[in-house]
Amino acid sequence: MPFSLFRTVIRRHHDHGRPHHHPHDHSHEDHETVRSGAGREIKVVRRVLDANDRMAQANRRLFAAHNIFVLNVMSSPGSGKTTVLMRTLGQLMPDLRCAVIVGDICSTLDADRLSVSGAPVVQVNTDEFGGDCHLAAHVIERAAAELPLDDLDVLIVENVGNLVCPAEFDIGEDRRVVILSTTEGEEKPIKYPLMFRLCQATLLNKIDLLPYLDYDRQLALRNIRQIQPDMSIFELSAKTGEGFDPWIAWLRSQIAAKRGTAKG
């Protein structure tokens, strides 16, 4: 039987066809007095993240209007996001105008590091938003208002270090990339399938450490492909720069595909 995403499960208030744990007992006389056919059940059928999804679409329209390619970079804490971005910005910025929105629960340490690149950087501290473990679409909207959108080609969002929550929140990006490092263990894709399922590329960072680690590289690659067979995978070291060329080439091709001709 086909399993539709939009199947409707309507539960009546007095539905006796399922086990229920009402704290109070209804007698069947009570049941008879219910006059409304709906049994006071109000159908809603809305995505819990509806508000976020709508804001993400608004962001997407805003970025498209300015012909800006948006990359959402996610990973666990300590995988090397900021170092990867430093080197990535260095290779894009001669000819592409880049900006960064960086999310952390607190501190401006990452923004301080990234601003060395010369790109405009907006640090978002989510402790203002309840210490959130991800960047939501409305946070990106506010941060984007701080940026000179007319003068940008690429916006990179360094999400909060976390492999769980950022996966659920569309921010209006064009591409999603997850960074996995060789010090994290090979099984991460299996433990966090949604993240790896939704990303188009994985950067396997810190390959310079492989000689010193008991790390099964092939197993890590197999695990990634098990979750997302079409994943583009780039093995690299943000520290030495090894393996960066294919990643930058891929990223440039994605940017060109979105933007077509450069803005004048």
Residues binding other proteins (CB under 8 A): 2-5, 8-11, 13, 22, 26, 30, 33-35, 39-52, 130, 132-134, 136, 162, 164-165, 167-169, 189-190, 193-194, 197, 226-230
Q: How far is 181 from 261, CA to CA, in rounded Å?
A: 34
Q: Which is nearer to other proteins, 72 or 88 (CB)?
A: 72
* CB 186, min distance to other proteins, A: 13
Q: Which is nearer to other proteins, 150 or 216 (CB)?
A: 216
* CB 234, min distance to other proteins, A: 19
Q: 261 by DSSP, 3-state: which?
A: coil
* CB 84, min distance to other proteins, A: 23
* CB 100, min distance to other proteins, A: 22
Is residue 185 a contact partner of residue 216, using CB atoms and an 8 Å limit?
Answer: no
In the sheet with 98-104, reading across from the earlier edge strand, the strands are 121-125, 98-104, 154-158, 69-75, 175-181, 201-205, 232-235
Nearest one of 102, 132, 140 to 119, comparing CA atoms: 102
Q: Which is nearer to other proteins, 96 or 227 (CB)?
A: 227
Q: Which is nearer to other proteins, 4 or 261 (CB)?
A: 4
The letter for the amino acid at 135 is: L
Strand (E) positions, 86-193? 98-104, 121-125, 154-158, 175-181
Q: Which is nearer to other proteins, 133 or 209 (CB)?
A: 133
Q: Residue for token digits 């450069």?
A: 262
* CB 63, min distance to other proteins, A: 23
